[in-house]
Copies of this chain bind each other. A is one copy, B any other.
């Protein structure tokens, strides 16, 4: 990535790369269970207040997670692609989710610890460090999944426990 600079951290750190990956994949496991909790039709159609159906939200998360980690690992610029064409059933979405899980593990292993404080430009446009960018991806998933919880409650469906990872 062209904006990447070598930037050695000056402070001791408290969360390891392994901690952060474990944390994210545990969240991704919970998000998978939230997808599963939606009835097929409502996954693609139900919404509140003009917001996107949960399937659309998941396509955003799929467009960010694995491509985002691949971009960091390889230093290439990825395009954001939220095209739903390839995923018009819950089963297909879950398959894409599982594929992304493996891709994230694969490319994460290629990011050396010392790169986490490096400045990058995610998807060619979002400035941050590797660590702040990854935290953003995780937070964005939690944020949108929280919306999915409200959709499920509004549909009278009990969502998975938030603390169960």
Contact = CB atoms under 8 A, between A and B. Distances in A.
A6 interface: no
A78 to B, nearest CB: 18
A15 B116 contact: yes
Q: Say whether chain A's binding surface is mostly helix, strand, loop, or mixed.
A: helix
State how many copies of this chain the complex holds.
2
A47 to B, nearest CB: 9
A97 to B, nearest CB: 19
B131 A143 contact: no
Nearest to A12: B113
Contacts of A17: 11-14
B140 A143 contact: no
Nearest to A140: B162
A12 B115 CA distance: 12
A150 B48 contact: yes
A144 B162 CA distance: 10
Interface in A129-148: 130-132, 135-136, 138-140, 142-147
Interface stretch (A18-26, A37-45, A98-106): A18-26
A84 interface: no
9 contacts: A11-B16, A14-B17, A14-B20, A14-B116, A14-B131, A49-B150, A49-B153, A51-B153, A145-B146
